[in-house]
Amino acid sequence: ALKDRPIQIRASGARAVAVTRIAGRDAVLRRVFVRTEKDHPLKVRYVELLGVALRGGKAVRERIKPG
């Protein structure tokens, strides 16, 4: 879990979007990818967050490795 990375649910027109910080920018979260160890599927290698920045609309990506 990424406890230091809260996710807010916001209305966007007729739908809801998830907003969080990705690579230091507020962004709409589009995808979360979790890479696990091949021989140990419960051990996480990294989590990758992909989204679109609220300001500027550019794609943002961040890879987070467990501490």
pLDDT tens digits for range 34-59: 999 999 989 999 999 999 999 999 99
Alpha carbons 44 and 53: distance in angstroms, whole number: 26
Q: How many of the other CB atoms lie within 10 Å of CB of 8?
A: 10
Q: In the 8-state DSSP scheme, what is residue 13?
A: T
User: How far apart are alpha carbons 49 and 22 in whole angstroms?
Assistant: 7
Residue pair 64/47 in contact by the 8 Å Cβ criterion = yes
Question: Rounded to an integer, what distance in angstroms lies between the CA atom of residue 1 and that of residue 13?
Answer: 29
pTM, rounded to two decimals:
0.87
Assigned architecture for domain 8-64? Roll (2.30)
